[in-house]
Structure 1
C-alpha cells in the first residue's frame, strides 16, 4: 500500500473534493488510500485532523496489512476503539464478499483431492496443507515440505504458522507416496496424531490427512487413525 501525502487539513479542502463527496461523484477507485481511510473514519478528534489520522493509519496498515488488530490501530494517537472497529469491519466485509465468489468448499476427502493433483505423480514426497475457514471454504494451499514425512522433519510450528496467519478454522494435510501404495506408514500415523493434538491446543482442527498416489488415496480420518 503506497502512501500518498495528504497536504491539507480536511476542513481546508473544498467540499466537492472531500473523500465522501469524491466517492459520490467519481467512485471509490479515484481516491488515494488515505482518502479511503478518511472516508471510513469520517472525522478526526481534537488535536488530530482526519487527514493526518488517515496517514498514520495507512502507515500502520503498511506494516500489518489485513492482519492488523484493534490494538495495533488504537496504539495510534487519536484512534479510539470505535474508529478501529470501523476499519476492521470494512476489511472483514471486503474479505467475505471477495471470498464468496470463488472459494471452493472442502467437506470430504474427494473434494480435497483436486488440490493434490499436482503431487500425485511426483517421485519425491511433497507435503501440502490447505487452510479452511469456518464454512469449510478454501483459504490457501501451500507446500509445507518435500522429502520423506517423519516426526523429525515436520513440526507443528511449520504446519500451523501460516494457518494462524490465515485465521483458519481448520486444515487438511495431504502428501503423496511415490511408491503408489497409499497405506499409511507408522510415521504418517504418528505425525498425524501429533498435528491433531497441536491443532486442538491452537483451536485449528486437523480435519484430515490424506495420502495420494497415481493409484488412489487414503483418508486417515475416514480409516480411523485419528
Structure 2
C-alpha cells in the first residue's frame, strides 16, 4: 500500500512524530527522507528500491550512481548521501568486540523486517571487531546463493580474521532448516581451509534470534 492510501495517522511522518523514529521500518524511514515519489511509482516503492540499492552497495555509492534509480532526482539523492555521511561521522558505533550473538544481532536488526531472506556476512578483525557487514545474497538460503566464493571474497580482501554469517527468517520461525545446516557446514569447511573461521551462524527476525553456536550446531 502506498503512503497516500494510508490514514493520516498511519503515515510514516506522522508515526515518527507520535512514536519516534525507532517505531518505523527502514523503508518507512527512507520514505520520510525522500518525501514523495513520481507518477507510476509512489514513495513507498521508490524507498524500497533506494534501500535495496544502498544495501547492495554497502551504503557506499556516489550521487551519479544513485541517480540511476528512476524517480530519484538530484535533490533527493544528495539528501540521502548527506544523511549517510552524517551517520558515519557522528553516530558510528565504537569499535567493540562482537563476542556474543546478542552483540551481532544489534547490527542485524535493520534487516529483520525484510520480506525476503537476506544472507549476511560480518567480517571481523583479530579482536573480533566489525570490519564490514555485507549482504551476500537475497532469496532463499541454499547452496547456489551462498557459495563459499561469494561469501568469502570480501572477507579475504578485508584480511578478516573470522566471520559471522547470518540470515533473516521473514516468517518469524527461528528453527534452522536442513538447508540452513547444510550451508553452515559447507561454509565452516571452506572457512577452515582459508583460515577465516565461521564463528557463528545467526538466524534472526524482528522478535529475536537463534545462534548456531549457542544451540550446539557449531
| TM-score relative to the length of structure 2 | 0.56
148, 158, 166: which one aligns with 2:150: 158
> What's the C-alpha RMSD, in Å, of the aligned pairs?
1.2
Q: Could you tell me how far apart the structure 2 residues matched to 1:141 and 1:216 are? A: 19
1:174, distance to aligned residue in structure 2 (A)? 1.0
Task: Tell me the equivalent position of 2:15.
Answer: none
**Worse-superposed segment, 200-209 or 114-123:** 114-123
Q: Residue 24 of structure 2 aligns with which residue?
A: none
Q: Is the 8 A contact 1:120 1:213 kept in 2?
A: yes
Partner residue, 2:182:
190
Q: Say whether the 8 Å CA contact 2:109–2:206 is kept in structure 1.
A: no
The alignment covers a number of residue pairs equal to 126
Where 1:124 maps in the other structure, the secondary structure is coil
Hey, what does 1:147 align to over in structure 2? 139
What does 1:61-100 align with in structure 2 at a 5 Å threshold? none
* Deviations, residues 52-90 of structure 1 (Å, cap 9, x unaligned): xxxxxxxxxxxxxxxxxxxxxxxxxxxxxxxxxxxxxxx
Query: In the TM superposition, what are the counterparts of 1:1-226 in structure 2 within 5 Å?
Result: 102-226=94-218
Query: Bigger radius of gyration, 1 or 2?
Result: 1
Structure 2 residue ranges without an equivalent (≥5) = 1-92
Instruction: Report the TM-score when normalising by structure 1.
Output: 0.54
Give deviations 1:162-195, integer Å, cap 9, x for gaps.
0000000000011100000000000000000000
1:130–1:141 Cα contact (<8 Å) kept? yes
